[in-house]
């Protein structure tokens, strides 16, 4: 049994989750950025909650009040990462053995063989990850987690790395495997089809909170609100009285809908325009938009016979026996789950009085709003409409940029700033593909010069300096004490790929150090590399989890959370490099004046102090 109650403040909302999970598979589903992966990281010990408690098999692994916070390696939790995080130079058997290297040889071999057999991958034991299909790689990643005999299994988007044609059968295989386990399992996904197949229970998450839990069938049959209905592909529509008052909500499946060009005068009939059409298997899904927006799945033969067109107005109806009634919550005015199926033709008569109550409440609210708005206008004050800004930001600047967004939003009450944080190559591609960004922050001079040459920006400015450090696990079993040790000792090293700035800068450091450590220094260090990563956080995660014995990252990436799990070794200044971030306002910025203002704030003394607060080097600092 897993019993968790956790809170963690994020920039726009707080994760506040409480769940009890038995030996079952709980699928946590929600839009990207709603707090799903944050929850997994708190459970795994990769991120500390602000408050709460985690109890696993009657053993407390985290308790804010009692100051208990076990490190990841002591939590007996298996974690399967989104990209599987397999070591490319190791065989399948060696990958699986990595997490149990401290066991006696006999016990280690026994566990490996049992796990290979359990997952049906004995024939792959000597293969390298590059030789495996996506589904096979997933099984190996799962094997590496299970061989440690975890008490809890966490899977973060386990199917997202697979192509559409592979995903379906791998999903079914994963369901079968999870069904054989007898431990609590949590799967994170944003795809309801994954949840429908894999879950014993589904928990729908929005802005850090669980808004509905239940079996996949319960969630689809009785969605708690439109947000849940959207995920499950269920139609949820208001039923109106003759006076256009909402009496109830009804949920029904798209394939139960009948469409025609003429009204059938049905009790449950809607009129709307076809705004989109898509073929799904043997059906064509019509997106119909009128007073309500919903979907209708019609057989391809019917579609071909009727020859519907986008923009055409049609009628759609559903039989009373095909719907489930979702009542309105009296206090909140939102649909909530009802046990059992009720017939809307009865409820319309029974609940007409609630329609009048709702109208009265709306009328009072309208009068109050009119009064307040009139008072504000009389005093010469009116609210400006909300302005949405968007930024593309190199991942290494996440923390200071979030803080600067907060300060800018405080100074501009009508402005909301969102940002995408990723590797510079990724955000550059997004800008080149037409992303309407107000700010672009690059961690690499070549990339920002390239977008300037393409005419996407006119000018750019240095905004912060950074340098590289070596990170090692707290126990430092290999005995790494200097840059030289990366070549003179047998060490499992993780660095960035040569396509991202951190990887390029790492290679520059190694090249410069050849002057002192010998011409073969560069080659010796690279021979110790067990994994090349595209994200600095992945380097840190592998070192903090003990999957690598050293890594090279930016000093600013070693946050207080990571400092609890790793140590820093400084690289001598004569071999280090100045890693500079650059900022610009794209020529196609939707809010150019505000973007210019924000950029100048970032470049000001106030903005520079924010970067220094997060351990960036002063712009005048020179490590060369």
Domain with residue 447: its CATH number is 3.40.190.10
pLDDT computed for residue 172 by the predictor: 85
Cα–Cα distance for residue pair 579/570, rounded to 1 Å: 15
Q: How confident is the model at residue 260 (pLDDT cuts 50, 70, 90)?
A: very high
- 139 and 42 co-located in one domain: yes
pLDDT computed for residue 326 by the predictor: 80
Distances (CA, A) of 564 to 37, 69, 77, 205: 20, 11, 18, 29
pLDDT of 331 higher than 80: no
Cα–Cα distance for residue pair 315/174, rounded to 1 Å: 42
- 163 and 254 co-located in one domain: no
Average pLDDT over residues 246-271: 87
- 98 and 210 co-located in one domain: yes
DSSP secondary structure letters along 464-482:
EEE-EEEEEETT-TT---S
Q: Are 28 and 205 in contact (CB under 8 A)?
A: yes
Residue 597's contacts (CB-CB under 8 Å, 6 or more residues apart) are: none
**Nearest alpha-carbon partner for 35 in 68, 6, 73, 72:** 6
Average pLDDT over residues 99-125: 89
Distances (CA, A) of 309 to 252, 276, 312, 528: 24, 9, 6, 61
Cα–Cα distance for residue pair 315/330, rounded to 1 Å: 31
pLDDT computed for residue 619 by the predictor: 82
Work out the mean pLDDT of the chain and round it to a whole number.
83
pLDDT computed for residue 163 by the predictor: 67
* Cα dihedral 402, 403, 408, 414 sign: positive
Cα–Cα distance for residue pair 51/21, rounded to 1 Å: 20
- 257 and 302 co-located in one domain: yes
Q: How confident is the model at residue 18 (pLDDT cuts 50, 70, 90)?
A: very high
**Nearest alpha-carbon partner for 157 in 82, 78, 77:** 82
pLDDT of 315 higher than 70: yes
- 118 and 183 co-located in one domain: yes
Task: Report the percentage of the chain scoring pLDDT > 70.
Answer: 88
Cα–Cα distance for residue pair 422/342, rounded to 1 Å: 49
Q: Is 255 helix (H, G, I), strand (E, B) or coil?
A: helix
Ranking 129-138, 335-344, 360-369, 561-570 by mean pLDDT, the lowest is 335-344
- 442 and 493 co-located in one domain: no
Q: How confident is the model at residue 247 (pLDDT cuts 50, 70, 90)?
A: low
Q: Where is the domain boundary, 278, 308, 326?
A: 326
Q: How confident is the model at residue 60 (pLDDT cuts 50, 70, 90)?
A: very high
Domain residue limits at 301: 234-326
Q: Which helix (H) or strand (E) holds 440?
A: strand 439-442
Query: Per residue in 61-75, pLDDT tens?
Result: 999 999 999 988 889
DSSP secondary structure letters along 181-192:
--S-EEEEES-H
pLDDT of 216 higher than 70: yes
Q: How confident is the model at residue 623 (pLDDT cuts 50, 70, 90)?
A: very low
- Does residue 623 lie in a domain region? no
pLDDT computed for residue 435 by the predictor: 77
**Nearest alpha-carbon partner for 161 in 189, 184, 120, 185:** 189
- β-bridge partners, 193: none
Query: Per residue in 334-348, pLDDT tens?
Result: 443 333 333 344 443
DSSP state of 57: T
> Does 239 or 113 have the greater pLDDT score?
113
- Does residue 272 lie in a domain region? yes
pLDDT computed for residue 484 by the predictor: 94
Residue 415's contacts (CB-CB under 8 Å, 6 or more residues apart) are: 386, 387, 389, 408, 409, 594
- 317 and 396 co-located in one domain: no
- Does residue 303 lie in a domain region? yes
State pTM to two decimals: 0.55
pLDDT computed for residue 395 by the predictor: 79
Highest mean pLDDT among 20-29, 84-93, 153-162: 20-29
Query: Per residue in 578-615, pLDDT tens?
Result: 889 999 999 999 999 999 999 999 999 889 999 988 88
- Looking at 280-319, list the stretches that DSSP marks H as alpha helix, in order from N- to C-terminal side: 300-306
> Does 363 or 226 have the greater pLDDT score?
226
**Nearest alpha-carbon partner for 262 in 192, 322, 313:** 313
pLDDT of 478 higher than 50: yes
- Does residue 570 lie in a domain region? yes
Query: Per residue in 134-178, pLDDT tens?
Result: 788 888 988 988 998 999 999 988 887 676 667 777 888 888 888
Question: The CATH number of the domain where 298 resides is what?
Answer: 2.40.50.100
pLDDT computed for residue 624 by the predictor: 38
- 99 and 207 co-located in one domain: yes
Cα–Cα distance for residue pair 9/90, rounded to 1 Å: 39
> Does 401 or 224 have the greater pLDDT score?
401
- 185 and 212 co-located in one domain: yes
- 66 and 184 co-located in one domain: yes
Please tell me the total count of domains within the chain.
4
Taking the alpha carbons at both ends of the chain, their separation in whole angstroms is 55
Query: Per residue in 389-444, pLDDT tens?
Result: 999 998 778 889 999 999 999 989 889 998 888 778 778 877 876 778 999 999 88
Q: Where is the domain boundary, 176, 195, 220?
A: 220
Helix 164-180, helix 134-146: angle, nearest 10: 20
Average pLDDT over residues 271-280: 86
Q: Which helix (H) or strand (E) holds 592?
A: helix 592-603
pLDDT computed for residue 259 by the predictor: 92
- 303 and 413 co-located in one domain: no
- Does residue 313 lie in a domain region? yes
Q: Where is the domain boundary, 326, 352, 378?
A: 326
Question: The CATH number of the domain where 119 resides is what?
Answer: 3.40.50.300
* Cα dihedral 452, 611, 7, 225 sign: negative
- Does residue 526 lie in a domain region? yes
pLDDT of 287 higher than 50: yes
- Does residue 550 lie in a domain region? yes
pLDDT of 519 higher than 80: yes
- 36 and 184 co-located in one domain: yes
Sheet holding 579-584, edge to edge: 415-422, 387-394, 439-442, 579-584, 461-466
- Does residue 499 lie in a domain region? yes
Average pLDDT over residues 93-105: 86
pLDDT computed for residue 74 by the predictor: 86
pLDDT of 465 higher than 50: yes
């Amino acid at each position: 049994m897993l019993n968790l109650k956790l809170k963690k403040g994020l920039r726009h909302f707080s994760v506040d989750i409480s769940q009890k999970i038995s030996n079952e598979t709980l699928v946590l589903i929600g839009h990207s950025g709603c707090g799903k992966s944050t929850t997994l990281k708190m459970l795994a010990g990769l991120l500390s909650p602000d408050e709460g408690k985690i109890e696993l098999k009657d053993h407390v692994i985290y308790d804010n009040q009692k100051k208990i916070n076990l490190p990841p390696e002591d939590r007996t939790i298996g974690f399967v990462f989104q990209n599987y995080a397999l070591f490319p130079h190791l065989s399948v058997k060696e990958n699986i053995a990595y997490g149990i290297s401290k066991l006696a040889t006999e016990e280690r071999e026994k566990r490996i063989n049992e796990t290979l057999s359990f997952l049906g991958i004995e024939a792959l034991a000597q293969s390298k990850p590059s030789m495996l299909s996506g589904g096979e790689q997933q099984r190996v990643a799962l094997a590496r987690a299970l061989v440690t005999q975890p008490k809890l299994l966490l899977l973060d988007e386990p199917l997202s790395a697979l192509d559409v044609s592979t995903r379906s059968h791998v999903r079914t295989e994963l369901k079968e495997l999870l069904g054989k386990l007898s431990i609590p399992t949590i799967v994170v996904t944003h795809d309801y089809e994954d949840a429908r197949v894999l879950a014993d229970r589904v928990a729908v998450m929005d802005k850090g909170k669980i808004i509905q839990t239940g079996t996949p069938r319960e969630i689809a049959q009785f969605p708690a609100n439109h947000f849940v209905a959207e995920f499950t592909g269920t139609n949820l529509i208001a039923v109106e009285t003759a006076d256009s008052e909402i009496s109830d909500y009804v949920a029904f499946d798209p394939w139960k809908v009948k469409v025609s060009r003429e009204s059938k005068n049905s009790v449950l009939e809607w009129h709307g325009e076809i705004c989109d059409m898509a073929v799904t298997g043997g059906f064509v899904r019509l997106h119909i938009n009128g007073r309500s927006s919903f979907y209708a799945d019609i057989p391809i033969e019917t579609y071909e016979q009727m020859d519907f067109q986008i923009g055409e107005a049609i009628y759609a109806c559903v039989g009373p026996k095909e719907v489930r009634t979702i009542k309105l919550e009296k206090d909140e005015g939102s649909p909530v789950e009802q046990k059992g199926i009720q017939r809307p033709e009865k409820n319309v008569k029974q609940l007409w009085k609630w329609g009048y109550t709702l109208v009265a409440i709306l009328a009072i609210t309208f009068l109050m709003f009119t009064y307040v708005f009139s008072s504000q206008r009389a005093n010469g004050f009116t609210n400006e409409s909300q302005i949405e800004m968007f930024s593309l930001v190199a991942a290494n600047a996440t923390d200071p940029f979030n803080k600067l967004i907060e300060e800018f939003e405080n100074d501009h009450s009508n402005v909301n700033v969102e940002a995408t944080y990723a590797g510079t190559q990724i955000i550059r591609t997004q800008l080149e593909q037409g992303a309407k960004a107000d700010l672009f922050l690059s961690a690499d001079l070549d990339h920002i010069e390239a977008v300037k040459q393409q005419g996407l920006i006119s000018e750019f400015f240095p905004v912060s300096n950074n340098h590289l450090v070596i990170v090692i696990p707290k126990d430092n079993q290999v005995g790494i004490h200097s840059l030289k040790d990366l070549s003179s000792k047998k060490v499992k090293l993780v660095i960035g790929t040569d396509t991202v700035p951190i990887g390029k800068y790492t290679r520059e450091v190694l090249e410069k150090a050849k002057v002192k450590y010998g011409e073969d220094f560069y080659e010796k260090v690279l021979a110790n590399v067990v994994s090349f990563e595209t994200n600095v956080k992945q380097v840190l995660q592998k070192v903090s989890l003990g999957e690598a014995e050293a890594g090279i990252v930016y000093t600013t990436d070693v946050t207080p959370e990571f400092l609890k799990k790793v140590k820093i070794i400084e690289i001598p200044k004569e071999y280090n490099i100045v890693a500079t971030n650059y900022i610009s306002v794209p020529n196609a910025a939707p809010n150019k004046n505000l973007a210019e203002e924000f950029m100048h704030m970032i470049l000001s003394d106030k903005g520079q102090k924010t970067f220094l607060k997060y351990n960036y080097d002063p712009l005048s600092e020179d490590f060369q």
